[in-house]
Chains A and B, each alone.
Chain A
Amino acid sequence: MLKRLKISQKLSILLLIFSVLPLLASGAATYFYTKAELEKKTIAALSAVTNSRAAHINNAIQFRQEQAKEVAGAYLLRMLTEVGANDPQIVQGIQGDIDSTFWDLKRTPTSSYSYIDKRTDIDIIGVWDVHGNIIASTNRQLIGKKMPFEYMKKVHEQGTYFRGFEKDPLTEKNYLIHLEEIRNWKSDLIVGAVSLKISGKVLDDITDSREGLGESGETYLIDKNKMMITQSRFIKDSILKQRVDTKGARACFDNKKAPTIYRNYQNVEVLGVQKYLPDQDWCLIAEIEASEAFATVKAFRDQMLLVSGLLIFFVVIFAYLASRSFTRPILRLHAASQRIAKGDYSEEVEIDSYDELGSLALAFNNMTKNLADFTQQLEEKSRTLFKHLAITTSQKKELKAVNAELDSFVYTASHDLRAPLRAIASFATFLEEDYMDKLDAEGKDYIKEIRSGANKMSALIDDLLTLSRISRIKNPYEDVDMKKMIEGVVDRIKFDIKQYNVDLKIQEAMPVIFCDRIKMEEVFLNLINNAIKFSSKNNKENPKVEVGYLDEEKNYKFFVKDNGIGIDPKYHDQIFGIFKRLHTDQEYEGTGAGLSIIKRVMDGHQGRIWVESEVGKGSTFYLTIPKSLKEEELKNNESQDKEEVQE
C-alpha cells in the first residue's frame, strides 16, 4: 500500500511519525494520568463531605429522639393507665405539659449545632393512649384521632421508634416522625406513646451546604424507596417525589461498591460517592458533574489536540515542499526519459542543484548524448548493413571457393586434357607421313579416324571451357550498338558466307543494348554460324539467313532465320541442353554445345531463347532481352561497388 503513495505523502507520513506521534503519546499519557489523579482527588473530597454530613444527620436524628424521650418521661404522662385516658384532668394536664414543652423547645436552642434551628423544625407533639387514640396534641385538630396500628405495634416492640421521613397520614404533611413509649409510673407498663413530628428542614440544612462541591456539586438523601428526602439543587419540589434510581443509589442499598462515574437522576455524567446510613436506612449521596471535575484536564486535552493539529498541518506543508524539491528534478528526468523513448534526444535536462539529483541529471544528459550518438551510428550502420544483406559474407566466401575450384578445373582441363590429345593427333600425323607406303587403305582410314577423333575432342574441350567460362565469368555490361556488333560478327565469318554463297540479310534498325558484349557476340556468332551451316546444307542453291529485330513493349526481340532443314517441334526443348545433337557428324559437324552456351548467356541477361520451326521449312531462333535490364544492372553494380570498397 505504501508503494502507491507519492513521495510527498510518504514524507508526510514519515515526518508525522517522528513529530506528532510522540507529542500525542506524551499528551495522552499526561491526560489520562491527570484525569485519574483528578478523579481520585474529587472522590476523596466527596467522601470527606459525605462522611461529615452523615455524622451531622445522625446527630440531628438522635437529638430529636432524646427530646421525645424527655417528653415521654414527664410525670403527668406516666399517670396514664392501661385502660386509657379515663381521667379528664390528667388529660388536660398532659395537654398543658406538652404545650409548654413545645414552646420551650421552640424557644431554647439546646444544641451546639448552630445550623439546626430547633425553633422552627418541631411541628407537632402528640400524646397517644394505649388504644392508639390521640388524647393531647399541640395541634388541637388531631385530638381524638386514631394512630395507625403498626405505629403502636412498633412502639410496643421497640419502645423507641424512628419512623423515618414520610408523609404523615393524619396531617398530609412530610415529617420526620419520632415515637417514644410512655410507661405507667406505678406498673411500668406501656400506657401510651409520644410522637414528635419534625419538618425535613433539618435535613435540608445539612445537605444544602455546597462547601467543597464546586459549581455543579450537590449532596442529597434518599430513603430506602430511593425517593429523595432532601431538596434537589436542580429540581423544585423534589422531596418524596424525585426517584433516584442510579447506579450509585442501587449499589449503596445493595451494599456494593459503586462506580465512581455514572449518570445521575438527571442523566448527567457525574462523579459520585454514596454513604449508607444504617440507622435510618437512608443513603447520603454526594455528586459533582464530571465535566466540572475534569474541566482542567479537558482544557489540557483540547490544547493538546489543537497543538497537534497545527503541527500536522505544518508538517504536511513542509513535507510537500521538501518532497517537491526533489520530485521536481525527478519529474523532469521522467519527462526527458519519455521524450527519449520517443526518439527525441534534442533537449537536455535542466540542472539546478549540485546534490545527488544534480549528478543524476548530469549523468542522464551524458547518457542522452551518448544515446543520440550511438543511435546515429547505429542508423548509419544498419543502413549499410541492409544494403549488404542481399549477399551475406558466408555466401560470398562459398561463391569464391566454388569459383576458385572451377578455375583450377578449367586450368587442369586446358592443360592436361590437351597434352595427350595433341600427342594422339600429332603421332597419328607422323604415322601417316612416315609410314604412308607401308599402310594399306584401311590402316590409313584408321589413322584418319584417330586424327578426326582427337580434333573433335579438342573442339569439345574448347566448348566445355567456353561454357564454363560463360557461366562463370561476368564481363562488365556496356552499351552495345547491336547493328555494329552483328556486322562485326559477320565480318569474322565472311569467308564461310562467301564459300557457301549465303544470302545474309541484316535489318537496318537495331537498338543499343546494355549487355555483355563478348557473350552477346558469342550468341550471334553461334546462331548465325548454325543458320549458315543448316541452310547451306539443305538449300545449296539458295541458302538464306536473316537477322532481324522486333520491338516489343517490354523486351528487345531478335531473331535469326534460316531456310535450312528445320527442327521437329518435339525436339525444340531438347536442343538447348548441353551436347544435344540431332544429327550425325557426317550430316553436320559441331559439338552441340553452341545452343546451350547461348541459353546460358540469355539466362544471364534475364532473357529467353526459343525456336519456331517445322521440318523442311527452316528455323527461326528468337531471343529476347528485357528493357529493364540496364536499370537493374546499374543498381546491382552500385551495391557491388560499395561492397568492394568495404572489403
Chain B
Amino acid sequence: MKVGFSRTCRWAVPFVALLLVGLPVGAADYHSHASMTEHLAWLARSEPNLVRVGELARSQEQRIVWMVEIGAGSEEDRITRPALLVVAGIEGNDLVGPFAVLSWIDRLAKQYREGSPTTDLLNTTTVYVVPCLNPDATNCFFTVPKIERNINGTPNDEDHDGLRDEDGCEDLNGDGLITLMRVEDKEGQYITDPNEPRLLLKADPLKGEVPVWKLLTEGIDNDRDKRWNEDGPGGVNFDRNFPCNYRYFAPDAGVHPVSENETRALADFVVAHPNVGIVLTYGAADNLRKTPPSGPPAPRSKATDAINDKDIGYYETIGKVYRAKLGLKKDLEGISHSGTFGDWMCFHRGRLSLAARPWDPGVEIETSKSPKDKDPNDANVPGAKKMSDEGQDRRGKEEREQLKWFDEHAPDAFIAWQTVEHPDFPGRKAEVGGWHPFARTNPPAGMIEEVAARHGEFLTDVAGRLPRIQVAKIECRLLADSLYEIEILVTNVGFLPTVLAHGETSQQVQPTRLTLDLETQCFLAGERVTRLPAIAGSGGAAKVRCTVRVPDRDRIRFQVISALAGRVQGTIELLKAGEK
C-alpha cells in the first residue's frame, strides 16, 4: 500500500499573493510565524523543483504548522527514498531551532543549485523539516509582555481548583517582560547568594540559614489562593505528549498522549512516511552531547527504554561528529524527558532518533574554556577531591557561571532587581527582575548565525548517514535448458544498517524484500518474494539465491524494496543454451 505525502499533508500554494522579491529575512533575527511563512513562501517559489511547503496542521490559535519537504524527483521517488526528518520548535520556547533549520534549508537549496555533494544527496534523499511545531508558544517571544512558555494554549486546571487558567503572570514593573519577583518573607525558602548578590539560593536549615526571600514569577494572586501565577494560560508541551514513558497527570503532558492537533498530525505524518530512517528533534532533550545509555535487548514483550547495545555505536559515532561540530572537547551530561517525540520514534518506532538542544549557555561556557581551565571538581582530573576548595559554596555554581558568561556576552540577559509596590504584599519589600525571558534558551542575536551554521553542517552530515541499498552483483547460471540458478547480491552503501536491531524488535520497519517478476510455479527453489535480513552499512551484503525454470523469456525483472534504504530495480539477462 502506497501512502502519498498528500494524505496527511495538504500542500498549500497560498503564496501567489505574496509577491516577494528576495530573502525576506535580512539581518539575523528570530522568525515570527509571519516572517517564517513569508520565508517559506519565498523558498517554495524560488525552488519549485526542490522545496515543497505544505500544511501539517493548524495550531489551536489557527496558525499553520508548516512541513517543508526537500528533495528532487517525483512524489513517488521522494516517498520511497531514504529520509531524514527534522523537527524544531516542538519545545515552545525554542526560537533558535526554527532559525537554524530554516537557514539550513536555505543553504541546501543554494548548494543544490551550485552543484556539490549536496546535489547528489538531494537527488537520492528526502528531507522533511517541521520548522516550528508549536507556533502558538513561540509567538510569546513577540508579544508584549514577553513571556517564556513551552506550552500551547489548551486550557488546563494546573492547581486543580475547578478553574482553568485563572492565575497567570502580570508585568508589574511595566518593562514589557515577565521575569521573576522576590519578596521579603520569612516563610520563603531563599537567601541571597553570598557569592553573587543578584542570585538567590535555597536556604539550608542544616547550615542554620534563615530564609529571607520568597521567589515567584512576576504577577499577582488573581484567584486569591495564596499562590502566585500557578494556573496561567495553557497548556501542553508537545515534547511531553508522546506515548513513550508518557507521564500521566503531569501538568504539561496533555490529557492523554498525542492529544493535540499538532502532535497528532506529526504522529500521523511519520506513520504515513515509513521511509523516515533518522529523526532529529531540536528541543530540551539531548542525546548527542553524550552517548545515551544502552543495554541488552529487553525480553520479549517487555518495553525497553535503553538503546539496544547493538545499535549504540551509531549513536556514539554521530554524537562524536556533533560534539566536534560544536567544538565541545568533552561530553556534557545528556538530558532526557518523559513523553518526547524522539523517544517514541526510537523505542516504539525503531528509528535512529537524535535529540539536541539547539543552544544553551552551558555549551558556550564549556567551549569557551581554554584547556588549562580545569574544573578542580571534575572527577576526570586526578586528585580532584584534594584540590577542591572545601570552604567554597558550590550551590548555585552553574547559575553563577552562566551569569558571568552573560555579563560578558549579553549583559541585558539579567534584569536588575527593581522595587515595586505589590498589592499582595503591602508594606513589604518586593522586587522584580532576574533572567530575561528566552535568554537562557536562545542565544543573543549576534550569535544566531554562527549557531545555525554549526547545526547546518551537522544536519548535512546526518542526512548523509541514511542506509542505501544497491545491487552489487547478479549471477545467472544456466543449469540445463531453461533451468537457471540465479544469485543476486544486495549491498548497503550507506552508513546505517537497513534496519536497526531495535527496528527489528519494534516490528515497525518492514523487512527489505526482493521480488522477482515471475510466476510462483517457475520456482524450483527459492521464492518469488524473499525477505532479506538486516544489512549492515558501509558495504554490508545479503545474497538471494533461487532456481527457476523459465522456458519462454530472455530476462527477468526484479525489485528490491527497503523501508529505510530505498528501492532498486534491475533485470537478469537469461542466457540461452549455447550462448556465451
* Chains A and B belong together in one complex: no
Identify the B interface with A (CB < 8 A): none
Identify the A interface with B (CB < 8 A): none
